[in-house]
Amino acid sequence: MQIKLYNTLTRKKEDFVPMHGNEVRMYSCGPTVYSYAHIGNFRSYVFVDNLRRTLEYNGYKLKHVMNITDVGHLESDADEGEDKMVKAAKKEHKSPYEIAEFYTKAFFKDMDKLHIERPEIIAKATDHIQEMLEFVKEIMKNGYAYETSTAIYFDVSKLDKYPVLSNRNLEDQIAGARVDVDPEKRNPYDFAIWIKAPANHIMKWDSPWGPSYPGWHLECSAMSRKYLGEVFDIHTGGVDHIPTHHENEIAQSKGAFGKIPAKTWMHVEFLQVNGGKMSKSLGNVYTISELQEKGIEPLAFKLFCYTAHYRTKLNFTFEGALSSQKALNRLRECYIKHKDGSKKIDQSIIDEYKDQFIKAINDDLNIPLAMSIVWEVARNDCKSKELADLMLEFDKVLGLDLANSEDYIKKQSNIKIPEEIKELLEKRKKAREEKDWTLSDEIRDEIKNKGYTVKDTKDGMTIEKI
Ligand code: AMP
Ligand code: ZN
């Protein structure tokens, strides 16, 4: 069945046809490894996982590259501020390489917890400095870049069209550009592809322009060409990449070899928290481990991501995530009931479910619609092994590890109640003895927010993990 994908470049849903037969060549912008990735970042990798798995479900083979940014990503995407890696290194009194190694490991640990498939190729920016340098030389040779006393800048005015991905109005951008930009820039929206390092800068490499380091956008241009060729099938990232990072990747490739590097550009919308931006200053930047501490499994977060289409904003709340945890437990129970069931179901019903499921995922990854079909299968009264197998087949795309449902449920019933919850239970018991029902209810809500449900029975209180 034909896959349709929304292409930011053409602003249309298009029939997806790979360039190299059965192989799909895809590039995903990966993490900047200067701190723990947050759940917003992981929403974007859950989307990439769904995309990979949908392509695989349709019989395609993947050649998928993801970069690890360990140099050059400045505090602002538009060439301003300090290198995020260098800043973190100073703060943690480590070398940028130690910082990168530590947070790369942490990143993949979380990716594994989320059952996100690994790309075939994982490419570190610092391992590709030579390729980047060659790229800069080509851009220079073709007359698309110029040198100033601080950097090599891409001359955007040399392009036939800029921007091409976003509807951004350059005039507005110029008017809004910061006044303290490098006065040697020819155009305010020119961007640095190669930056000359000040004497005390930690991460720098020799180049024809002295000790320097790459601009952030360059690594993706150089590494995607190295592994996937000049033009490949799909390029992914978050919506924040549209106006600057991906726009500039396109500019660089046009400057070096005259082509837009990918045919289909896909962007995932942001995860918000309590209806607003996730930001350190608001104290609402959560990691996967922090969710776990509150009783939300990584896979429940993955299921939470399935409540919205990847091109719409998704609002994270603990309440919402806790309902996804409950839903995941229910899904596992439904799977087990089918697996242990002895009824028979008509093949035509299975085929119909399959047909609906593939239609949903192939329609620009409509996972929320696909989930509604999964729930129909899960809740089907005819408890049969065929339906359990069908759930496992759908799980090839969802990656919720349903095959191990029994283990998860067992683990949950053996779960140790944390001291903090035990203390709250004691407090609640006392409140009830003193007939302080308001306090008792408040404590019950607090316990619920921490991922446990208290039930009052004739024999006393019971506690369960949500
Ligand atoms: P970074 O490590 O900052 O380079 O970001 C890694 C990926 O996460 C990029 O594809 C970003 O677009 C994406 N991203 C960052 N914040 C969010 C968010 N709140 N929701 C969804 N994706 C995000
Ligand atoms: Zn990138």
The predicted structure's pLDDT at residue 458: 55
**Topology of the domain comprising 313-413:** Four Helix Bundle (Hemerythrin (Met), subunit A) (1.20.120)
Atom of ligand 1 nearest to the CA of 73: 4
Cα 317 to averaged position of ligand 2 atoms, centre (Å): 29
Q: Residue 313 carries which DSSP code? A: -
- What residue owns the CA closest to ligand 1's atom 5? 31
| CATH match for 4-268 among 3.40.50.12780, 3.40.50.620, 3.40.50.300, 3.60.20.10 | 3.40.50.620
Looking at 183-284, list the stretches that DSSP marks H as alpha helix, in order from N- to C-terminal side. 216-228, 247-257
Q: What is the mean pLDDT of residues 104-108?
A: 97
Q: Name the amino acid, one letter, at 336.
A: I
- What residue owns the CA closest to ligand 1's atom 2? 31
Cα 304 to averaged position of ligand 1 atoms, centre (Å): 17
Q: Which of 36, 104, 165, 240 to mutate to test the pocket of ligand 1 (most atoms within 8 A of CB)?
A: 240
- Which is more confident, 415 or 2? 2
The predicted structure's pLDDT at residue 78: 60
From CA 354, how far away is CA 332, in angstroms rounded? 19
Cα 33 to averaged position of ligand 2 atoms, centre (Å): 13
Length of the chain: 466
Q: What is the mean pLDDT of residues 443-452?
A: 88
* Residues having CB within 6 Å of any atom of ligand 1: 29, 31-32, 40-41, 43-44, 237-238, 240-241, 268, 270-271, 278
- What residue owns the CA closest to ligand 1's atom 17? 40
Q: What percent of the chain has pLDDT over 70?
A: 94
Cα 220 to averaged position of ligand 2 atoms, centre (Å): 5
Ligand nearest to the CA of 218: 2
From CA 208, how far away is CA 426, in angstroms rounded? 70
Are 194 and 153 within 8 A, CB to CB?
no
Ligand nearest to the CA of 286: 1
Cα 32 to averaged position of ligand 1 atoms, centre (Å): 9
Cα 128 to averaged position of ligand 2 atoms, centre (Å): 14
- What residue owns the CA closest to ligand 1's atom 18? 40
Q: Residue 463 carries which DSSP code? A: E
Break the chain into its structural domains and give their ranges. 4-268, 313-413, 419-465
330: its two tokens: 């229910």
Q: Which of 5-9, 68-72, 378-382 comes out lowest in average pLDDT?
A: 68-72
Indicate left, alpha or beta for 274 from its phi (over 0: left) and psi (-120 to 50: alpha). left
pLDDT in tens, 202-242: 889 999 999 999 998 999 999 999 999 999 999 999 999 99
Cα 217 to averaged position of ligand 2 atoms, centre (Å): 6
Q: Is the pTM of this model over 0.85?
A: yes
Q: What is the mean pLDDT of residues 350-358?
A: 98
Q: Which of 39, 44, 284 to mutate to test the pocket of ligand 1 (most atoms within 8 A of CB)?
A: 44
Atom of ligand 1 nearest to the CA of 30: 6
Q: Which of 17-26, 287-296, 391-400, 449-458 comes out lowest in average pLDDT?
A: 449-458
Are 138 and 257 within 8 A, CB to CB?
yes
Q: What is the mean pLDDT of residues 343-358?
A: 98
Are 109 and 298 within 8 A, CB to CB?
no
3-state secondary structure at position 462: strand
Are 272 and 64 within 8 A, CB to CB?
no
pLDDT in tens, 160-182: 999 999 877 666 655 445 445 67
- Which pLDDT band, with edges at 50, 70 and 90, does 128 fall under? very high
**Mean pLDDT, rounded, of the chain:** 92
pLDDT in tens, 52-104: 999 999 999 999 999 999 886 766 666 667 788 888 888 888 888 888 999 99
